[in-house]
Structure 1
Amino acid sequence: MSYEAKVFRVLIASPSDVVEEREIAVKTIQEWNDLNSPERKVVLLPLRWETHTAPEYGARPQEIINRQVVDHCDLVIGVFWTRIGSPTGVADSGTLEEIERVASKGHPVMLYFSQIKKDPNQIDLEQLAKLREFKDKTFPKALVESYNSQIEFRDKLAKQIEIQLRNLVAEESNSNNTADLGAREKIEIEFSDPKTGELLGSEINLEADFLDVSDIDDIPDYSSSQSDQDEDGEVKKIFRRSENRDYYRQYVEYVVKKSMYKNIGFSLKNNGVIGARDIFIDMDINVDGEVEELISNDRLELKVPKKEKDSSISFSLDDFGALASERLQLEGSDKDWNASFEIRALQPKRTVKSRQQFVVGAISDCVVNISAKIYADILPEPLIQSLKIDLKVNTIEAKSSEILQEIGYELEDCTKSA
């Protein structure tokens, strides 16, 4: 199936003594395309004079190569070993002329110098001297790379071409206007259903019930009120787990929270043509109204209480500092809050449901306004987006006895066990 893609042309420039490295560079680029192009909508096109030029008469050979190939590239990979190349009448070699021509236009140049040993009898000393002179001029004003084997060259190139590609996309985005940036490189955040992942947009309306329990202080302790006796009337000693005397109160609090608290989920979409990494979302949250609590989902204890205390020991991964960067960090008080979380990677044209959520609970109507600032490696500057939650709260007067009826306990049962 066909697809639209951004094409970056990569010129491979080198003298004649690194023929195998030229082939490795082409193969590395093609492997990148095979793995990434369909999803990231980016194609890297390797350019070489031997495959991308046509015969022409009446001009200097290197001038023809420049016009047909060099002037159209976006990036240069230059590779050297012991030679610098043949003079062109303008520069010491065609390779140097190509590199200098591309660099003068502000395009990136990646230079690699081989340190592989070579038979001294096969080294052209004049060529080697010119190469050393080029190195002396280049090293102080450029970041270059060396390699001790062709395998090392392939591995370094595969990694570093990815870095340069990200820089190319970022520079191109920075040079375009905001509208073009939004169309191609924008990462969007919006609300999503915490359970289904359904996208809900940037503004949502939620409805919750606040159970106003007037007699919560009158809830009695829980007790099974049972004992076993032997035939002589003596009480048997039975080993059992300790009873949870707060069971009734905890159950009422559980029902109140379950009705009042609402989970808020998020999804992110990468509208760009290249994958994003190290995505950081920083959210400033302002509340218009009275919020009972705003808390990260993983810190909310909303479990059905048990009649017996749990004597088992459990550990949280947070106790060991694990996954701290992947959890939603939320702090603040009253009206102003701040939340942040990270996502390691987001492929182009993909929407992902974030595992990070927070919970809002209120005893009256309120509006939660969120200003989300999005950072990513492909963005020249952070994006700012607005989100809004309109929470309507229905106040319902309730009694603890009515809530406890849901678990089969009548008021007189509670009284007896007090």
Structure 2
Amino acid sequence: MSELLIRPVTAAIAPPLPSRRLDNALVWLMSLTCGLVVANIYYNQPLLAAIGRTFHLRDSSASLLATATQVGYTLGILCVVPLGDMLERKRLILLMLLGAAACLGLAAWAPTFGMLAGASVLLGICSAVPQLLLPMAAHLAPEADRGRIVGRVMSGLLIGILASRTLSGYVGAHLGWRAMFEIAAGLMLALLGLLAWRLPQDRPNFAGSYGSLLKSLLTLTRTLPDLRRAALVGGLLFAAFSAFWTTLTFFLESPAYRYGSDVAGFFGLIGAVGALAAPLAGKASDARGPDYALGLSILLALAAYGVLGLGGTHLLGLVLGVIVLDVGVQAAHISNQTKVFSLVPEARSRLNTVYMTGYFTGGSLGSVAGGLAWTHGGWPGVCLLGAAFTGAAYLASRFYGRD
């Protein structure tokens, strides 16, 4: 990248710190943290039907709770994560964990759906911790191993996304949905103590104001077509992913299966197989470049919606579709992030902010659209919607922003 391109982005940036070597224990701690914190956003998905019954809501209205946490997460990424280039990251992470614990406690005791939705938005904001840890891992990792290490840390996040549904589905079926939020609050407090002891301090290298920090997001977006493309592709894929997972619990409780929330949650464990693709995608990106891994991953996700649409009413087809969908979406995400983190090393938190804002904006759109597709088109409508989002992602990856 030319000096002319970098100058407006890094004008207020102090000289970068020397890289420190990541040991395996620290990488696994970051991975565990990502998984436990991001799970906060997804605990509600297998519980939506039960929450809807508590507050006497239709399925489409209850599904808005999934949107509320994703909107909050997007706000956290946009407004808080850039501070990782400006404030000491460890202190910021600990404050966010404390806030997440408080929001989970509020959600557990919420007397109305409106209060629960408000707590969910705030919980999403406080749960943006993984998007601070991932740039930290990329900063500390040797360049030759960056894709592999980011993939390993990301694997914890992906397992958290999917295994959270298994845990919440089981807890919801046996202890009630409120108990899940109480347990999650306790996990956040335990994690707070662990990170206060072990997570290293990471002094920032941005020397400007918060206003100039946010303004630089626009500069990065305007001057880096690869960043814009990654954000668009990631958002479309996560829309397809969210449309499926938001409506799965309704499909499994429908006459097609008549399963409860515990079985809906178990599908999260099946989908966690997709997390195994994260380190492999990172290695493929290191070896053959992220664009190669990205194209292959999107085609896998598109094939998954073919399986889900044609065979989703049969348990074997549904299980196979879940696995292939998660492998494709998660591998594409790793490929995108590996590319993004290589663009301007001094601004990785802000690069991640732009990318993940697009990513979770797509996820929020997918949750809303998935609820509407389920209400008006049933399972075929959800599958057509997911395939449309995935197909658009493939076209964007091939043609958007390329000369």
TM-score, normalization by structure 1: 0.20
Q: Indicate the structure with greater helix content.
A: 2
Q: Which has the higher contact order (CA 8 A, sep 6+)?
A: 2
Query: Which one has a bigger Cα radius of gyration?
Result: 1
